[in-house]
Amino acid sequence: MTMLRKVFILTMLLAVTLVHAAPAAWYKWRSKLNAHVVCSQTSPGEAWEQLPKAYQDGRCERPKPG
């Protein structure tokens, strides 16, 4: 098998993997200082704890299935 063919096959396998990638979940985060809750995909900082339920939207209104 030629090198070009190997690169092509590897590229196609990577493309298939990327096509099936899902968007990141949103989570509610609660402040350890004053219990304020925000919705974010990433931690707002060290003083925040992630609540367990995942959501599909940036308002944390639609729970993620499963």
pLDDT tens per residue, the chain (66 residues)? 788 888 888 888 887 776 677 789 999 999 999 999 999 999 999 999 999 999 999 999 999 997
Q: Determine if residue 45 is left, alpha or beta; phi over 0 gives left, psi from -120 to 50 gives alpha, anything else beta.
A: left
Q: Is 16 part of a structural domain of the chain?
A: no
Q: Nearest 5°: phi and psi at 52?
A: -70, -25
With H, G, I as helix, E, B as strand and everything else as coil, classify residue 6: helix
- In angstroms, the CA 48 to CA 58 distance is 17
pLDDT at 26: 98
pTM for the complete prediction?
A: 0.68
Q: How many domains does the chain have?
A: 1
| Domain containing residue 57 | 23-66
Residue 1 maps to a domain: no
pLDDT at residue 18 in the model: 66
Residue 10's pLDDT is what?
A: 87
In angstroms, what CA-CA distances link 36 with 19, 40, 47, 55, 60?
37, 13, 11, 18, 14
Tell whether 36 is covered by a domain: yes
